[in-house]
A and B are shown apart, each in its own frame.
Chain A
Amino acid sequence: MEIKLILNGRQVVGHVDADTVLLDFLREKGCLSVKRGCDTSNCGLCTVLMDGKPILSCSTLAVRADGHEVFTLEGLQGEAADFIGFIADQGADQCGFCNPGFVMNTIALLRENPDPTDEEIRAFLAGNLCRCSGYDGQLRGIRNYLNSRGR
């Protein structure tokens, strides 16, 4: 099946099977920030933005992206650059495998709620699992980023 979508600001045409998931399509297109983690819709590693909303690309059929706009971290590096530095400063990037999903969902959070409380950050990022660094580092990184922005 042929699909057309806007990927990271550029029109892309692809041929996929009916059961190809968006994650595999995106990685074929070179978006290697999109990772397969749990593959059961629980861990958030594969988070991308479709029409501005964070979704799990491991559980989205590529054909459902036809006619839509998709952003991966490759297309949002400018927007992400600042707070990625704050997360790294806390050592919360450790192995880095879960980072792209965390960053994508943090972008979605800050677009929806530019000044979240710690509880709102925790709630919004509850669907992102980190296997090695825990969660306090990410929270501190985002909080420090928000504090620095406020100054």
Chain B
Amino acid sequence: MITIQNYVRAQSLEEAWSLNQKRQNRILGGMLWLRLGKGSIHTAIDLCNLGLNGIEENDTEFRIGAMVTLRDLELHDGLNAYTRGAVRNAVKDIVGVQFRNMATVGGSIWGRFGFSDVLTVFLGLDTYAELYKGGMVPLETFVSMKKDNDILVRLIVKKAPARIVYTAMRNQRTDFPVIACAVSQLGGEYRAAIGARPARAMVIRDEQGLLSDGITAESAKAFAEYTAKKAPTENNVRGSAAYRTHLIRVLTQRSVLELGGI
């Protein structure tokens, strides 16, 4: 059980960052995962007054504040039009509406959780993490970075010409995924983001050009085989490594075929 001694609604990012330099202080996201932990927090830092709870869209990008909820993602017309519903598909089975009204993009991404649907779908897009001190970092780089005392301010999703399909396998509808899979075409590049391996999500690019001559049943199968070989999997209570590898093959193949309209 977590205990909190003080609570501060930061009035600026600088104030939040300064408070966050002390080891016993913590930034609050939706508090859903944090609350299940153990230990004592000296000061809980709330970013709710910093205007980070909105999604801004312009001609070139989406700017998604760290305090945007997963429900906001689910209901945002522009984001879901751009991704043809992939973002909605990625979050719609996360526990329930009440949970998604609380869980934040910042909490999901900062945590770099292995089970994260949110991380997986955004890795399928041209996404950057905007850090208060660290500046703009490609999300793929951010995933591998060690946690520090910086603050995730926003996610930036560039509007590259893109098509994306999101699928996941769950043992039960609202459980964590056994495997999460976002297959996309960004510009001329095909990639698959594979999450819940159960390690954190990773990106696998079509470096061998398996799909470069177009999507067919054969090329989809070849890319799925390639992805399954490149994505390490492990056992946990939800599934074995072998089962996960099988699921990667199946979900990637289906997603590529859907991407190609087949």
Instruction: List A contacts of B2 (CB < 8 A).
Output: 19
Instruction: List A contacts of B46 (CB < 8 A).
Output: 64
User: Given A40, A61, A124, which contacts B7 in the complex, CB threshold below 8 Å?
Assistant: A61
Say how far B39's CB is from chain A's closest CB, in angstroms: 12
Number of interface residues of A (CB under 8 A): 27
A99, CB-defined interface residue at 8 Å: no
B3, CB-defined interface residue at 8 Å: yes
Question: Which residue of chain A has its CB nearest to the CB of B1?
Answer: A19
Cβ contact within 8 Å between B44 and A126: no
Instruction: List B contacts of A141 (CB < 8 A).
Output: none
Instruction: List B contacts of A56 (CB < 8 A).
Output: 32, 98-99, 102
Instruction: List A contacts of B98 (CB < 8 A).
Output: 44, 47, 54-56, 105, 127
User: Given A47, A59, A109, A126, which contacts B35 in the complex, CB threshold below 8 Å?
Assistant: A59
How far apart sit A97 and B204, CA to CA, in the bound complex (Å)? 47
B160, CB-defined interface residue at 8 Å: no
A133, CB-defined interface residue at 8 Å: no
Q: A127-B96, A128-B96 are in contact. Are A61 and B44 (CB under 8 A)?
A: yes
B60, CB-defined interface residue at 8 Å: no
| 0/1 interface trace, chain A 118-134, chain B, CB 8 Å (1 if under) | 00000111111000000
| 0/1 interface trace, chain B 26-48, chain A, CB 8 Å (1 if under) | 00101110011000000010101
User: Given A40, A41, A54, which contacts B97 in the complex, CB threshold below 8 Å?
Assistant: A54
A94, CB-defined interface residue at 8 Å: no
Q: A44-B96, A123-B92 are in contact. Are A60 and B6 (CB under 8 A)?
A: no
A81, CB-defined interface residue at 8 Å: no
Instruction: List B contacts of A108 (CB < 8 A).
Output: 97
Cβ contact within 8 Å between A41 and B35: yes
Instruction: List B contacts of A59 (CB < 8 A).
Output: 30-32, 35, 102
Say how far B99's CB is from chain A's closest CB, in angstroms: 6
Instruction: List A contacts of B92 (CB < 8 A).
Output: 123
A63, CB-defined interface residue at 8 Å: yes
Instruction: List A contacts of B101 (CB < 8 A).
Output: 53-55
Q: Which of A4-56 contact B (CB under 8 A)?
A: 17-19, 40-42, 44, 47, 53-56
Cβ contact within 8 Å between A124 and B97: yes
How far apart sit A54 and B71, CA to CA, in the bound complex (Å)? 11
Q: Which of B44-74 contact A (CB under 8 A)?
A: 44, 46, 48, 71
Q: A59-B31, A59-B35 are in contact. Are A127 and B102 (CB under 8 A)?
A: no
Say how far B40's CB is from chain A's closest CB, in angstroms: 10
Q: A41-B32, A60-B31, A126-B173 are in contact. Are A1 and B99 (CB under 8 A)?
A: no
How far apart sit A18 and B35, CA to CA, in the bound complex (Å)? 13
Q: A55-B101, A64-B46 are in contact. Are A41 and B7 (CB under 8 A)?
A: no
Residue positions of B touching A, CB distance < 8 A: 2-7, 28, 30-32, 35-36, 44, 46, 48, 71, 92-93, 95-99, 101-102, 173-174
Residue positions of A touching B, CB distance < 8 A: 1, 17-19, 40-42, 44, 47, 53-56, 59-61, 63-64, 105, 108-109, 123-128
Apart from A41-B32, A56-B99, what are 20 other A-B pairs with CB-CB below 8 Å?
A18-B6, A18-B44, A19-B2, A41-B99, A41-B102, A42-B96, A56-B98, A59-B30, A60-B31, A61-B4, A61-B31, A61-B44, A63-B7, A105-B96, A109-B97, A125-B96, A126-B173, A127-B98, A127-B174, A128-B96
